[in-house]
Amino acid sequence: MVKQVYGILGDPVAHSLSPVMQNAAFTRLGMDALYLAFRVPREELEGAIRGAKSLGIAGLNVTIPLKEDALLFVEPDKLARQIGAINTVDFSTGTPMGYNTDGLGAIQALQERVGDLTGKRVLILGAGGAARAITFYLDREGAFVTLANRTVARAAQVAARLTNVHAIGLGAELKAHLTTTDVLINTTSIGMHPRAEETLVTADMLRPELVVFDIVYNPIETKLLAEARRAGVHTCINGVKMLVYQGAAAFRIWTKREPPLDVMEQAVLDALQRGP
């Protein structure tokens, strides 16, 4: 039997712990499978997806900055089409099928700590593929979402497709919104290795009762989370749980098996502790 190969496409992608996480799951379940990271520039994405299909690769994840572009080169399911971005590709039917598990992963991680999201005022930093997915799920949960992005028009495109969502910039509006926000979520790559010392929000903009969720998981304590702790924020959520939950959802799509969540999470935590 031929070994099943899976992978993640991104640029950059060396920081990704998806290979550590997914390979730990394969090992625990005794599967003859391997998950690899592939650095793919945006202009080569179509060729990479077509090539993966031709090579018999069983499934892919897609990460920054390719999630929206990848939608053009697959047959997306209804949810991914509505979101406008994918992070998972499945080749089992012959046709590259696109899915988005980011929003599900984020909502599960958030609900574990916050509970019911109905009526919560959520401020999201960024308007890329992850932001799209998370915003879509929050809208379905009945939250009121504000998207803050450097390019307001880009955020407005996302907001226009949903019910209780609107867009602002990253200037004075951002600081003003944080005074009435219940949950702050960073979906940008700011704060991610190697930009670990950067943040869009500092301690003076935060208050203790705010929930701060950074979907960046490498480093596990981002600059944003460090600023939140400095401001006395009671509930800080790192990106590990989201990584595990979205990865588990992709695992189910590819293998039709139930992934070992505890093994996947521990593999990520061990890798983060070891460092680069």
CATH of the domain at 170: 3.40.50.720
Task: Give the residues across from 39 on adjacent strands.
Answer: 10
DSSP annotation of 2 reads P
Q: Is the pLDDT of residue 45 over 90?
A: yes
User: Are 208 and 234 spatial neighbours (Cβ–Cβ below 8 Å)?
Assistant: yes
Q: How confident is the model at residue 161 (pLDDT cuts 50, 70, 90)?
A: confident
Predicted pLDDT of residue 146 = 97
Predicted pLDDT of residue 56 = 96
Q: Residue 176 corresponds to which tokens in the numbers above? A: 């003003």
Among candidate residues 187, 79, 190, 80, the one with its CA nearest the CA of residue 123: 187
Residues designated as active site: 67
Contacts of 205 (CB under 8 A, 6+ apart): 174, 175, 178
Predicted pLDDT of residue 260 = 98
Are residues 88 and 208 part of one domain? no
Predicted pLDDT of residue 105 = 97
Predicted pLDDT of residue 193 = 81
Are residues 233 and 111 part of one domain? yes
Predicted pLDDT of residue 194 = 81
Mean pLDDT of 204-220: 96
Are residues 114 and 89 part of one domain? no
Q: Is the pLDDT of residue 275 over 80?
A: no
Mean pLDDT of 172-192: 95
Are residues 167 and 61 part of one domain? no
Are residues 254 and 222 part of one domain? no
Give percent of the chain with pLDDT exceeding 70: 99
Q: How confident is the model at residue 276 (pLDDT cuts 50, 70, 90)?
A: low
Task: Give the residues across from 146 on adjacent strands.
Answer: 123, 166
End-to-end CA distance of the chain: 34
Q: What is the pTM of this model?
A: 0.95
**CATH code (residue 11):** 3.40.50.10860
Average pLDDT, the chain: 96
Predicted pLDDT of residue 126 = 96
pLDDT digits (tens, 9 = 90+) for 68-78: 999 999 999 99
Are residues 52 and 66 part of one domain? yes
State the residue range of the domain holding 253.
4-100+243-274
Predicted pLDDT of residue 2 = 82
User: Are 48 and 54 spatial neighbours (Cβ–Cβ below 8 Å)?
Assistant: no
* Dihedral angle sign, alpha carbons of residues 114, 119, 122, 128: positive
Are residues 224 and 193 part of one domain? yes
Are residues 155 and 256 part of one domain? no
- Number of domains composing the chain: 2
Among candidate residues 247, 201, 275, the one with its CA nearest the CA of residue 101: 247
Are residues 157 and 185 part of one domain? yes
Are residues 87 and 28 part of one domain? yes
Are residues 64 and 178 part of one domain? no
Are residues 194 and 113 part of one domain? yes
Predicted pLDDT of residue 163 = 83
